[in-house]
Structure 1
Amino acid sequence: MAVPVNTDAINTLNNTQVHYPKDKALHHLIADRAAQIPDQVAVVFENRSLTFKQVNEAANKLAAHLLTFHIQTGDIIGLSIDRSPEMVIALLAILKTGAAYVPLDPEYPKDRVEFMMDDSSAKILLTSKKFKGHFVSGAREVLIEDAIDKFNTYSANEPETIVTGDDLAYVLFTSGSTGKPKGVQIKHHNLVNFLLSMQKEPGLKAGDNLLAVTTISFDIAGLEMFLPLLTGAKLIITDAITAKDGRALIDLVADHQITVMQATPYTWRVMLEAGWETKFPLRILCGGEALPKDLINKLIARCSELWNMYGPTETTVWSTVKHITNDEDISIGKPIDNTQVYILDENLNNFTDGTIGEIYIGGDGVAKGYLKRPELTNERFVDDIFSGIPGSKMYRTGDLGKIREDGEIVCLGRIDHQVKVRGYRIELEEIEQNLLKQDNVKQAVVIAREDTPGNPRLVGYVVINEQKSDGDLRTQFGTWQRGLLEVLPEYMVPDDFVIMETIPITPNGKIDRKALPKPNYSNIQRAGEIVAPRTSNEKLVADIWKELMGVETISILDNFFELGGRSLVAVKIMARLEQETGKRLPLATLFEHSTVEKLAARLEVDATSITWESLVPIKPDGTKMPLYIVHGAGLNVLLFNALAMNMDAEQPVYGLQAKGLNGIDEPLDVMEEIAANYIAEIVAKNPDGPYALAGYSLGGIIAYEMANQLMAAGKEVKMLAMFDTYADLSTVNDPLLKKVFNKVTLVLKQIGYSLVLLAEDPKRTIEYKSLILKRKIIKLFWKIAPGKDEKKEGFFAYDNEIDEASEKALRNYILKPLPIAIELFRAKKRTFYMADFNFLGWRPFAKKGVHVHEIPGEHNTIFAPPNDKEFAVVLQNCLDQVSKN
């Protein structure tokens, strides 16, 4: 319906002409800025900082190195390195050679990265030693470390290359409807116009601190990487793990006095959910997907300005901007400099009266088109009949929109089936094409649902060839997800699947996406009907699960882990069962008796028949070399379940729990005896090996001694892994005076480091130190408590005795060097002092070296979501690698 309009507002909507250096390449402007403020800090990353002069000269030297490989203006270079100052330098260096860069996030699936390299015909892949040989393509691999080693042989002067505003700056691949990504070609003048407009509004000036959190494979990273260098502001870069950590981002904003930050609504939600309450002098740029109404007031209350940003990759990042002041005035604003926005119908009639049509974008941001896709380019990039400039194009966005009476534009969502999830633009057809390639899939439709406001989820609706049982279906879902993760980024893999007999269609024969049913999110893993409890024990277990897990409906076939069960709630469940029945079950019982039905049946067994073996089959099936993980000081192997379930389907995983948990067996207090006990149970099930051992915290020391004994017995230990285990370099043989001196020195260093942690993160440090103090008080009380040798009651009643025995074993154990390599999985965040933060003390004891794998989280949270998924990927890669050797 048409609405009254403000004619003057409409007439000025596209009156955006502004002069800018259209003929200049971006790096020339950045070099000019560097010459003006050479000694000002340009880039900050962790404890490093580089000045504008250092960044520009390093880029010049790297460009000189790249030019030795006969790079010509217009060539393409792929870039795949971790987030760091070198990433910024590399982007700038590639531009200085005259080449265009293809940004390749190293976390993306290998097949996807290799497709982008081949499709772009990249001459060079600029990467790091970490990824040497990882990607296979026709490009020549150049390692940035090798280039840096040769910097002294190159001039710091600007390369003598001829690059103009009409040359390509980058090719960025976006999701494609054919099942393959498509490369968008952006020229220097596209990028320069965009950045200079952003410098004015929303605005960036010298003195601002911009926090960069976006992967370079997302086009909005162009603003983060280049705008500070262009304006003289400071660029603070996060690593990939920190960029996903809401608490860490809040701390960075505070610690670095961040004044500008750009992110998708998803990232802002992550920060809010992490406890962000402080108001910062922060200008927020929010884009990538529609700005949710419920976020607006929350963000406004915590920042100085909130800006809504809109624009597809094909028109160079953002094309319109809007300063949002309240949740009643939401629009995408007006076009940026030298940009025109039209609302058109199928016949290209221009609607300025509020009529809804498709959003078309023209002007100097419009890309050259899609690389090697002339038909698609002609379809999406059409002649701009309104500009009066011969040959000019405008881009069909596929978004619906209208112009308000005040001249601002409102975006009303997608015309086609392209969606935005967590800020990423996704062609659903690409997911569907790859889902159809999976086992047992006959027909597939994928949609994005937002049944919970602010939490869009991808759901796959699948018609299968062969009907399967409920259990097999759950396995099938996991197989599909793993198959998709091999070819698609994680954000493009459906969270949920619904099995359909037929896909609904509209009367004209098209898929009726609106008729696709809502998944049962409360119990998404349940397949088949709900089976009610039949016995008193089944009812008891079901009632306890409902109460402690917050689930309204329980079937006796429901699986504890598939309902989201974790160790903390497992302890509560087992404690309640012991309280109600008097029977004490190991936590590990849940691995083999994980449904209500099976756990209730386990309660029928006589208490004396319940076994407390050390070897626990967490995930026993699979063809790969089994992994044996030794418990930490907490004695709980249930921690390892999420890690195991996120590993390869063919990867068996076992846990080792302490002897004595049942209160009957005597806890072992000699390290060699503990190790021998665990080895005996392993060898009884797997006599020939080879063996892959791992230990968490204290368990790492036990695993080390197990490796020692297995190797002495002539067995092959393929892998010895430490999960954040620290090796104490002191020994029991040290003289008393030296022991006292070392102890006093250690305490002083621990106090000093605790003060540093307190300054960096007071809330978390107080929480952690309070927990440690509480544990020490409990231990002390247990040691001096009267009647401690009387009958124990309650779950984990005997853990203090086992803990004391383990500590005694640790005190008396002497680490000796072994002819073995150690795979050290080191928590990124440190919560206590260590003499060796890099190798955690293991270098003297591993004659074949220590290989460090950094994993997200701190010591106590490496197995907690979402850290468990990333940990599992790193661990599986390591296991697969060592098994080949």
Structure 2
Amino acid sequence: MDATVNTAAISTLNNTQADYPKDKALHHFVSQRAHETPDQVALKFHERVFSYRSLNDAANKLAQYLIEQGLEKGDVAGLALDRSPEMVISLLAIMKAGAAYVPLDPEYPKDRIEFMLEDSSAKILITSKKYHDHFIANSKEVLIEDALDKFPIYSAQEPEVGVTGQDLAYILYTSGSTGKPKGVQIRHHNLINFLLSVQREPGITPADKLLAVTTISFDIAGLDLYLPLISGAQLLLADSATAKDGRALVDLVKAEQVTILQATPYTWRMMLVSGWDEKLPLKVFCGGEALPKDLVAQLLPKCGEIWNLYGPTETTIYSTVKQVTSEEDITIGKPVNNTQIYILDEALKNYTDGTIGEIYIGGDGVAVGYLNRAELSSERFVDDIFSGIPGSKMYRTGDLGKIREDGEIVCLGRIDHQVKVRGYRIELEEIEQNLLKEDNIKQAVVIAREDTPGNPRLVAYVVVHEQKNDGDLRAQFDTWQHGLLAVLPEYMVPDDFVIMDTIPITPNGKIDRKALPKPDYSHIQRSGEFVAPRTTTEKLVADIWQELMGLQNISIFDNFFELGGRSLVAVQIMARLEKETGKRLPLATLFEHSTVEKLAARLEMDPASITWESLVPIKPSGSKMPLYIVHGAGLNVLLFNALAMNMDADQPVYGLQAKGLNGIDEPLDVMEEIAANYIAEIVAKNPDGPYALAGYSLGGIIAYEMAKQLMAAGKEVKMLAMFDTYAEQSTVNNPVLRKAFDSTTLVLKQIGYSLVLLADDPKRTIEYKSLILKRKIIKLFWKLSPSKEEKKEGFFAYDNEIDEASEKALRNYILTPLPIAIELFRAKKRTFYMADFKFLGWLPFAKKGVNVYEIPGEHNTIFAPPNDKEFAVVLQGCLDKVSKL
């Protein structure tokens, strides 16, 4: 490259001056759009649609309500709502009232949210009935339902508060090295400068539709929510479960013709492995962590444009942008408007010759500083000696970087021990501080490893006070994970623990993190010798298992479940096998064909011999009274396996899967018919009984109707068990006005069961919880899809039809009291509102009473390790008791 051109490119790097209305607040732009294009669609969430006028009017009314509740200009308001239109309306309303908001994801640990409320001195907390009195804080609790009820008495005029660009817009908490999160204070003008720059490049127009998938506790949600709303575009809001489900995201992008999607590399990888097989006119925004070459190579043929965005929370979402057109040319680009990037050494000498130094960021994106952390603020926000503007600051990012010859910036990773995992910025010291509070830990060091490309993992290296054997160590690891989940978000809990005699140190006495050993991810304990694949089909199965399970040298006699196989990886395996062989097997095939040898043999059989019966033998042998467990909304009976295996050796367990999974049988949409179908298959194998029935979630309602029919036929039902099922009565016969009144709370309740994703064991459960939840979430989009009648392909291709039929059956089913006792297995951890926490609504329908058994975990993790073991013990005790009656 010509030296003159190089010099010119570098000298103009920070010439980013651009005029913008620095005195205006964010909501002024939304109000302006509402005035200019009042009928344009602003926001869509499932089937709920808001025009710019209706969205702005709702925010104005809520702002007036908040002001009446005592919220004043300069105050701070916490917001803890599930992802919904009310969440967006509340964010705008808080700003319109002149206050700054603290975004609180209700899925985060309760203690962490309470710390944020206390540290920010939040005057009010906007939440919903679902979380009423859940958080202990000095903030005045304002329920969104109460505010909505009062909307008719308020005008749609915007409150005259006089908010300017200098006022705070939000305080966002990030991971802190002392063990406590720190609040970053962002002004309106910081946010406006960034949004207007991104509006220009990468660009957005009123014709665009942006899909928002990021939790509001992650700063990049500011782009998701506000960029479309200030631009006259459409904001399509995804709920939490969809945002974590690659297949659901791909389906939603296609069904809604999304044109812009911002996500972390982890989310993009999740979408790519979930059936994204065609080019889409999609503008890809990738941020939150480094953009890998292999990901670019995979994305380029499948989208319209790829943009790499970089920046810390402290400089307002992103500070640089770069359009990436080749995997061989990945940088973080150049600064956004009114932003300067410097590469400095310890003496603050600015390197423009390609020398590596620390990245400093100055300009209009730099935050006010950390709330209540003056010492830390002075350390990280230093005087901008290059700007010539008195009092201006630049932020020390802690990232290494250099300026390339063409003036673009290359980011080379962290200087300190702050890392990015799945898009979340994490201070490793915060995890280490909390680990030291756990039992038997003498010393702890946590690092982020990416031994498998695209799969970053947190690994904790621990020196213990007392050495334990292998069996006790597994229990010890589970205890540590449980303890950390009580105080940290799931993404900050280590996936793996390595016991060390000593932590390695460098010659100068610092911890030698590079010397920490790679965990043994592929350790396989087998009783017999290793036997290599003998046939082409066995090799295919073994190769797929090894790739998707991250293991090596799988023997043909190794058992899928004993290798740690779980539902999500089982779905991936069956989908890959279908793609490679053209043969589609039921997921439940793994129960009877759980080794490489057996599954390969099953693949070689005539496809016509494959059965899709509803009754699935999970553990068919044993002399005790069999237990029949009905599937939940995810249709998957595979997650019952661990529960069954932890019950007595002579306890038979069967699962019941939905009719229609094969795409041939018609799904049933009447509860009585669903129950009758399952009963017919049970009675065909066990005509005399007695019967022990159980159902998980939706399956509990089906089991209830099965018990009703069996009792009417003179059969003995010894046990009717509900696995965390709520007895929500159908509203089909309610008056229209009553239905309308309850619609908002009904949506919140339904979403509630899908949003509690902080599992008691992140490693074992995060892989499958999206699969369990996604069916209901994507049903509406599938229903509206013009291509849904086309030929179905891929594993679980017919689940949408089954989900739709099941939900229709549930909507029309009327619960009536039965002369029976109900055994209610209730999850201990409740992070969402219920009208009846004690009996989950079953008391009016069980004439002989409801016996409550508390089991570990929350709704989506009761079958996950280590919860499955305790659940199995409690369940076995209940079964043994009722069988003797």
Alignment of 1:858-869 (within 5 A): none
Using the TM superposition, give the Cα deviation of residue 425 of structure 1 relative to its aligned residue in structure 2, in angstroms: 0.7
Using the TM superposition, give the Cα deviation of residue 454 of structure 1 relative to its aligned residue in structure 2, in angstroms: 1.6
Alignment of 1:661-680 (within 5 A): 669=683, 676-678=690-692
* CA deviation string 1:293-337 (max 9, x = no partner): 011122121122111100000000010001111112111111111
Q: Which residue pairs with 1:238 in the alignment?
A: 238
* CA deviation string 1:476-516 (max 9, x = no partner): 22222222222111111111111111111111111110001
User: Letter of the aligned partner of 1:871 in structure 2?
Assistant: N
* CA deviation string 1:652-680 (max 9, x = no partner): 99874389xxxxxx99639997663438x
Q: Which residue pairs with 2:95 in the alignment?
A: 95
Q: Does 1:572 align with 2:616?
A: no
Q: Which residue pairs with 1:476 in the alignment?
A: 476
Alignment of 1:601-616 (within 5 A): 611-615=622-626
Q: Residues of 1 paired with 2:82 and 2:373: CA distance?
A: 30
SS at match of 1:442: strand
Alignment of 1:169-248 (within 5 A): 169-248=169-248
Contact 2:593 2:599 (C-alpha < 8 Å) held by counterparts: no
Shift in CA distance, 836/294, structure 1 to aligned 2, threshold 3 Å: closer
SS at match of 1:521: coil
Using the TM superposition, give the Cα deviation of residue 543 of structure 1 relative to its aligned residue in structure 2, in angstroms: 13
Q: Residues of 2 paired with 1:851 and 1:276: CA distance?
A: 42
Q: Which residue pairs with 2:564 in the alignment?
A: 563
Q: Residues of 2 paired with 1:377 and 1:317: CA distance?
A: 18
User: Letter of the aligned partner of 1:571 in structure 2?
Assistant: E
Shift in CA distance, 154/673, structure 1 to aligned 2, threshold 3 Å: farther
Q: Which residue pairs with 2:553 in the alignment?
A: 552
Q: Residues of 2 paired with 1:347 and 1:511: CA distance?
A: 25
Q: Which residue pairs with 2:749 in the alignment?
A: none
User: Letter of the aligned partner of 2:262 in structure 1?
Assistant: Q
Q: Residues of 1 paired with 2:452 and 2:724: CA distance?
A: 44
Q: Residues of 1 paired with 2:858 and 2:718: CA distance?
A: 35
Q: Residues of 1 paired with 2:309 and 2:401: CA distance?
A: 15
Q: Which residue pairs with 1:831 in the alignment?
A: 802
Q: Residues of 2 paired with 1:728 and 1:575: CA distance?
A: 48
Q: Residues of 2 paired with 1:634 and 1:240: CA distance?
A: 16
SS at match of 2:391: coil
SS at match of 2:95: helix
Q: Which residue pairs with 1:740 in the alignment?
A: none
SS at match of 1:278: coil
Shift in CA distance, 416/558, structure 1 to aligned 2, threshold 3 Å: farther
Shift in CA distance, 261/630, structure 1 to aligned 2, threshold 3 Å: closer
Q: Does 1:721 align with 2:735?
A: no
Shift in CA distance, 201/471, structure 1 to aligned 2, threshold 3 Å: same
User: Letter of the aligned partner of 2:290 in structure 1?
Assistant: A
Shift in CA distance, 361/846, structure 1 to aligned 2, threshold 3 Å: farther
* CA deviation string 1:597-655 (max 9, x = no partner): xxxxxxxxxxxxx7343457xxxxxxxxxxx945799999764135789xxx99x9987
User: Letter of the aligned partner of 1:97 in structure 2?
Assistant: A
Q: Residues of 1 paired with 2:57 and 2:542: CA distance?
A: 63
Shift in CA distance, 162/5, structure 1 to aligned 2, threshold 3 Å: same
Q: 2:860 aligns with which of 871, 874, 883?
A: 871
Shift in CA distance, 615/695, structure 1 to aligned 2, threshold 3 Å: farther
Q: Which residue pairs with 2:425 in the alignment?
A: 425
Q: Which residue pairs with 1:363 in the alignment?
A: 363
Using the TM superposition, give the Cα deviation of residue 576 of structure 1 relative to its aligned residue in structure 2, in angstroms: 6.5
* CA deviation string 1:256-300 (max 9, x = no partner): 221111111111111111121221222111111011001112212
* CA deviation string 1:217-273 (max 9, x = no partner): 110110111111111111111111111121221122222221111111111111111
Q: Residues of 1 paired with 2:797 and 2:589: CA distance?
A: 19
Q: Residues of 2 paired with 1:463 and 1:336: CA distance?
A: 46
Using the TM superposition, give the Cα deviation of residue 561 of structure 1 relative to its aligned residue in structure 2, in angstroms: 3.6
Using the TM superposition, give the Cα deviation of residue 105 of structure 1 relative to its aligned residue in structure 2, in angstroms: 0.9
Shift in CA distance, 328/635, structure 1 to aligned 2, threshold 3 Å: closer
Q: Which residue pairs with 2:290 in the alignment?
A: 290
Contact 1:614 1:657 (C-alpha < 8 Å) held by counterparts: no
Q: Which residue pairs with 1:497 in the alignment?
A: 497
Contact 1:630 1:703 (C-alpha < 8 Å) held by counterparts: no
Q: Which residue pairs with 1:743 in the alignment?
A: none
Q: Residues of 2 paired with 1:705 and 1:509: CA distance?
A: 73
Q: Which residue pairs with 2:654 in the alignment?
A: 657
Q: Residues of 1 paired with 2:295 and 2:861: CA distance?
A: 33
Shift in CA distance, 203/642, structure 1 to aligned 2, threshold 3 Å: farther
Q: Residues of 2 paired with 1:869 and 1:561: CA distance?
A: 24
SS at match of 1:871: coil
Q: Which residue pairs with 1:863 in the alignment?
A: none
Using the TM superposition, give the Cα deviation of residue 837 of structure 1 relative to its aligned residue in structure 2, in angstroms: 3.0
Using the TM superposition, give the Cα deviation of residue 419 of structure 1 relative to its aligned residue in structure 2, in angstroms: 0.6
- Structure of larger gyration radius: 1
User: Letter of the aligned partner of 2:82 in structure 1?
Assistant: D
Query: Given the two structures, how large is their TM-score scaled by the length of structure 2?
Result: 0.72
Using the TM superposition, give the Cα deviation of residue 4 of structure 1 relative to its aligned residue in structure 2, in angstroms: 9.5
Q: Residues of 2 paired with 1:448 and 1:195: CA distance?
A: 31
Shift in CA distance, 720/636, structure 1 to aligned 2, threshold 3 Å: closer
Contact 1:331 1:409 (C-alpha < 8 Å) held by counterparts: yes
User: Once the two structures are aligned, what percentage of the paired residues are identical?
Assistant: 57
Alignment of 1:225-374 (within 5 A): 225-374=225-374
Worse-matched range after superposition: 268-277 or 362-371: 268-277
User: Letter of the aligned partner of 2:805 in structure 1?
Assistant: M
User: Letter of the aligned partner of 1:123 in structure 2?
Assistant: K
Shift in CA distance, 428/674, structure 1 to aligned 2, threshold 3 Å: farther
Q: Which runs of 5+ in 1 are unaligned?
A: 536-541, 581-586, 593-609, 617-627, 660-665, 683-690, 730-751, 772-826, 854-867
Alignment of 1:5-24 (within 5 A): 6-24=6-24
* CA RMSD after TM alignment: 4.7
Q: Residues of 2 paired with 1:314 and 1:323: CA distance?
A: 23
Contact 2:450 2:457 (C-alpha < 8 Å) held by counterparts: yes
Shift in CA distance, 575/224, structure 1 to aligned 2, threshold 3 Å: closer
Q: Which residue pairs with 1:405 in the alignment?
A: 405
SS at match of 1:505: coil
Q: Residues of 2 paired with 1:44 and 1:831: CA distance?
A: 25
User: Letter of the aligned partner of 2:223 in structure 1?
Assistant: L
SS at match of 1:228: helix
SS at match of 1:43: strand
Shift in CA distance, 699/533, structure 1 to aligned 2, threshold 3 Å: farther
Contact 1:176 1:430 (C-alpha < 8 Å) held by counterparts: yes
Q: Residues of 1 paired with 2:295 and 2:256: CA distance?
A: 24
Alignment of 1:109-120 (within 5 A): 109-120=109-120
Q: Which residue pairs with 2:612 in the alignment?
A: none
Contact 1:164 1:188 (C-alpha < 8 Å) held by counterparts: yes
Q: Residues of 1 paired with 2:47 and 2:633: CA distance?
A: 33
Q: Which residue pairs with 1:159 in the alignment?
A: 159
Shift in CA distance, 318/643, structure 1 to aligned 2, threshold 3 Å: farther
SS at match of 2:331: coil
Using the TM superposition, give the Cα deviation of residue 24 of structure 1 relative to its aligned residue in structure 2, in angstroms: 1.4
Q: Does 1:377 align with 2:377?
A: yes
Alignment of 1:422-821 (within 5 A): 422-523=422-523, 550=546, 552=553, 560-564=561-565, 568-573=589-594, 611-615=622-626, 629=629, 639-641=639-641, 656-657=653-654, 669=683, 676-678=690-692, 695=699, 699=703, 701-702=705-706, 721=725, 756=783, 759=786, 761=788, 765=792
Shift in CA distance, 552/113, structure 1 to aligned 2, threshold 3 Å: same
Worse-matched range after superposition: 563-572 or 545-554: 545-554
Contact 2:362 2:393 (C-alpha < 8 Å) held by counterparts: yes
Contact 1:78 1:102 (C-alpha < 8 Å) held by counterparts: yes
